[in-house]
Structure 1
Amino acid sequence: MQKSYQSRGPSLLKVSLNLSYIWQFVMILIMTIFVQVADVSAQATSNARHKITGKVISELDNQPIPGASILVKGTTIGTTSNSAGEFSIDAATGSNIIVSSVGYKAVTIRLSGKTNIQVALPEDVANLSEVVVVGYGSMKKTDLSSSQISVSAADIKKTVNTTIDQALQGRAANVYVTSNSGRPGGGVSVNIRGISTIGGNTEPLYVIDGVQILPGASTVTSSPLASLNPEDVESINVLQGPSAQAIYGSRSANGVVVITTKRGKSGETKITYSTTYGVQSIPKLLPTMNLREFAVYQNAYNKALNRTPQPEYADPSLLGDGTNWQKELFQSAPMSKHQLSLSGGNEKRHFTFPENI
């Protein structure tokens, strides 16, 4: 019996050690599976998309930006903001969204669990001048396939202009502005790329804040732009190419002049006062004959035609220089202009009240 007991002792010990190793291996396997399941669950939770809403505004004046582009970085998921600057997009927590718009710098926002965000875009001054107004909205200059000429409010302020047509003179290529009358506010002819017809109307189509004005024969005596103050103009765009003016049809055959006036912005009410003072004078006097020279001319003229000479011109040496009517009529005259404007508004409405004083 003693021999039998000694031979079975090592076997039992060996079986006990094997069971311990197996138990440890099973516990490690269970823990590994649990960790992997937890990681998969966390990854699935982080990749789950949530509905994100927000609003895009301008950093300068908190004005909503319509048509802004919102894109989830690294994906093709995107949307645009509506007229109130609001948007809605599905994105996962921790992802980045890129918000951009024409004339503004792009902004990248990282989603950290928020479901409603507000994005303020800073103005991109370098690219702001590259945006121009066309018949169907606004575009970048690089995207235009037709001829386009722009005159900004800063260009208009460089000189003293009493009418809009004076602001176009010398600033727009292929645009010829001539006056039909010397009276204030008189008719002005504006020809884009020359005269396109002999007997018909050669005036372009004017679009002022969306209102179309087609000048007729009345432009000989009055100008359709005479009632518009240059200080109230934000920009002037001359459309010359067919693709840019196609929206206006046959009325734009002579070109289109799109005029955008200044508008109030949301925020505090602003009072703006501007004044201009200058002296107006004739550049130079035309050389003319004085009274003595005119008498000699009249005597020679009458003698050549066998006419009776005028007695008052019989002896020109007795006459003086006479009156220089150019000096009497064209004198240096002071010129001043004062304008006071009130502008402002909120998210729903804007107002601007300009007044010349």
Structure 2
Amino acid sequence: MNNSGRWPEISDSTLEVWLHLLDSMSWLLPAPIIAINRSCGSHLLVLGTNASAKPYISKGSELPLLHTYCAQTLQDGVKTVVPDGRATKRWQNSIPVKNGFIAYIGLPIFWPDGEPFGTLCALDTKPHTWPFSSEKLIETVAAILTAQLMLMTQLQQLEYRNQQVHALAITDSLTGIFNRAHFFDLAEQELVRALRTKRPMSVIMLDVDLFKQINDTYGHDCGDRVLHQLAQVCQRALRSIDIVGRYGGEEFVFLLPETSLPDAVALAKRLKGLIAAITVEHNGELVTMTASLGVAALQPHVDTIKELINQADIALYRAKRNGRNLVCYHEQTSAVSTDGVGHS
């Protein structure tokens, strides 16, 4: 983005196209210097020039804007034509004339909202009566550059909107974490990786205890804030490689790559403590909550995410049956899956 934060940066590939355009103009525009300049406050940044301009000026040069032909072009917002700056009182003592640039023709280039981007100009070191064909050429190219800036801006806005649509499609609107569908998409990818590399992976299922009582006592708005706060607290406790999603209602699911069962249980205990410390203010009263968690680790016989989550779900409901606010884990004791669980 540019300094205003609203416009796209000019890419290197775009600048390369502009340089070729300036060189092509040299065949039709009899001037040693043809340049595209960016307005940068009190200076002009030379974005590109034709090849013949190199003895005089180069790409990347910063030039003072005050008392220059380009300053007049930007101020007026229209074409500026100077056949011989020495013959006009206005330009006799100007910086361009003092530096030997006698003749000038330039047009402003605009951002879509009319804010000046810079100038397209040609300069000569000798007096020059700019023919009609030269004026039409530079007008046409300036219009092309302005149109390209508009297209670049529209493409940037389209990309931003597409990102917004994508974010809405994968995010749970209440909690700000991944929705169930996107969680499963990511989890399936991680499962394939874990099976291929034979690396550990675990899942935690979490359910807010007695959440219906919170809704019934304090209202659904308070319940929504409870879920949002819980999701944010849990997300901050995770690593960048961990994945958390809203499974449904007051249930959340965590996928933990490169995590053994003991490490997953340790994280579940930590999450349980963090959740118990959450308070949500409602009409001057502090609402608290607890959660039950079930943990399962990937085993050789497990080859689907649904199966792994089901094991964590079994452990979760054992935690709820055993009194809530507990962490239970699915324990594999033989080649055949069992319902053996532990809790803390």
Task: Classify the TM-score, shorter chain.
Answer: under 0.3
TM-score by length of 1: 0.22
Q: Which is greater in Rg?
A: 1
Normalised by the size of structure 2, how large is the TM-score? 0.23
Larger helix proportion, structure 1 or 2? Answer: 2
Higher strand residue share: 1
